[in-house]
Each structure stands twice: as structure tokens, then as C-alpha cells.
Amino acid sequence: AALLGFVRAMPKAELHIHIEGSLEPELIFALAERNGVRLAYASVDELRAAYAFTNLQSFLDIYYAGASVLLTAQDFFDMAWAYFLRAKADNVVHAELFFDPQTHTDRGVPFEYVIDGLSRACAQAWQELGIRGELILCFLRHLSEEAAFATLEQARPYRDKFIGVGLDSSEVGHPPEKFERVFAAARELGLHAVAHAGEEGPPEYIWSALDKLKVQRIDHGVQALRDPALVQRLVRERVPLTVCPLSNVKLCVFKDLRQHNLGELLAQGLVATVNSDDPAYFGGYMNQNFVETFAALELDAGQAVTLARNSFEASFASAADKARYA
């Protein structure tokens, strides 16, 4: 119990949070009402009851439906602000937020509304909560390379409002190398690069995220343990893994939390971090992920300190901020 109090109170960085995945059912209904959007569910309870997933795709279908209520810059602000209040409660002092512009621009929402609302929330989080918030633009990997290039082009005028690019959505069948050229173009703009790999997909996708996309972190990466040579490389190069324990259980990557390999990832010397992924859908925010995982895997204070340190090392925080967090 003392350990869990320590874990809750320690300062931490969150590096794997899809801001659209922080949209709580109550806010989905409030925004639907405000915007006159019709939902396929009659109530908050009915919507929540649909959150029973069998794999990544079964989640994504509902996640994209939930995002359909987001229309104005204010909607994006309200969503991100609600997240920052939750982050504050969990003593998250630095957060790098993924956003999926194509989910919105494909519905006719201007890219400008998305980035304006989100970046205003980040500015206010720093001013009022002392939380550093940064944005990472994710390409949807089930869409084409051409669509990803068009998105990067739309984003260019707002280059100073986001710090990197990522790759998310349906993994299996959409290997990283499909986006080799668009990631090269993004890195050319000085953007950081990360990618989801090895969530459901094979270790080969982690290799190609590193070699073809030249990413600085792997999102999820829990399948890496199937490939000892890959583990050796990730350890040697200190490539961080942004692990999301509650997500992995909800999407049936592990049967239950006691089967999760976070303890083994740490034991092998990997730079693993704990993150919430899509907290409104997967059963909790940062501290819920920490507390449930620590209880299930019987982790200790040393591992808590390592996870917090890893989160700052793995972050794209400035050198000055990293020194403050150390």
C-alpha cells in the first residue's frame, strides 16, 4: 500500500496517449448534443457496454465512431483539457499526445481546427497546470502512402505546433515500410519519429520501424521478446518501448495482467515505460495502469523508479526540462 502511494505520487511522463482515446462516453454524448451529431448508441451506459474488444480492430471501429462528434476547435480543446486535468491528478508532468488528423479531415473537419484546439490546450496546460504538453501527428497505416503525404503537406504550415510523427491504426498487413518515404520527408523537416510496432504485429515490424522509418521509440513493442537478436539491439541502442498494460489486456494481447511481460522487459534491460494508450476505452489513466500492473506483477519500488526515469529519458523533452525531472 505504501508502494502504491509512492507510485501514484511520483512525477512521470506519458508518451503513448491517443488524445481521441481520452474521449470519455459522457463527453462524447455532450459533444454529440452540442453539435447535433447522431450516435448509434442511445445512452452513455449503452455506449460503455459496447467496450468489449477482442482485438485491435474491434476497438478501432468504436474509437473512430466516438471521434465523429469532434467538429470544432473548441471540441478538440475540451477533449485535451479534460485529459490534462486527469494527467495532473496522476502527477504526469510531461505528456506527448498522439493525434490522428485523417480521422477528422476525412470527415470534412479542417486540419486547422484540430491543431488549433489541441495546441491551445497544451499552452493552457503549461500555464495553469505546469504540465508540458506536446503533439505528435500520427498517420493512419490502413490508409495509403499518398494520403499520409497529403496530411504531412496540410500540416506543414503548422510545423511549429507539433514535435513529431507517429504511425497507428490497424497494424497487421500494414508494415512500417509502406511509409518509408513519408517518414523520410517528416524527418527532413526536423520532426521526431515514432511508430506503433509489435503490438499485435511480428518482431519484423519492429526491425523495419527502426531500419526503414528510423524511429526513436517503439510504441508497444511487447512482441519484441519473441526475437532475442532484436532484444539485444533494443537494449544496446536504448530504444524505448512505450508499453500500455491495460490496453494490452483489453485488446487481448495478453490474457490477463498477470501474464503481461512488463517485468520481463525490464529484467532484460529494455527501456520500457508505462502509458495509458486510450484511457477512456481501456479502463484507466496513468496511475490506474501503474497501480494495477504493480499489483498484478508484484513489481517493487526500484522498478517504479526505473519506469519513471525511463519515461523522462525516452521523452522528447528539452535538455533543460530533462535536467529538472532527473
Q: Residues interacting with ligand HPA, by CB under 6 A? A: 18, 21, 56, 63, 168-169, 196, 199, 247, 277-278
**Shortest distance, CB of residue 219 to Zn ion, whole angstroms?**
5
169 vs 261, beta carbon nearer ligand HPA: 169
- Least distance to ligand HPA, CB of residue 323, Å: 32
Question: Closest separation between CB of residue 196 and Zn ion, Å?
Answer: 6
Please, which residue, 191 or 251, has the CB nearer to Zn ion?
251
Q: For residue 244, which phi and psi values (nearest 5 degrees)?
A: -130, 85
Pick the catalytic residue from 24, 171, 199, 292: 199
104 is in an annotated binding site: no
Q: Which residue is nearest to ligand HPA (CB)?
A: 168
Residue 14: contacted member of Zn ion, ligand HPA, none (CB under 5 to 8 Å, by partner type): none
Nearest residue (CB) to Zn ion, 71 versus 114: 114
300 known ligand binder: no
Nearest residue (CB) to ligand HPA, 12 versus 141: 141
Query: Is 174 among the annotated ligand-binding positions?
Result: no
Give the whole-angstrom CA distance, residue 226 versus residue 208: 15
- Shortest Cβ 254–ligand HPA spacing (Å): 13
Give the footprint of Zn ion on this chain (CB under 5 A): 277
Residue 199 known to be catalytic: yes
Binding-site positions for substrate read: 278
What is the set of active-site residues?
A: 199
Binding-site positions for Zn(2+) read: 16, 18, 196, 277
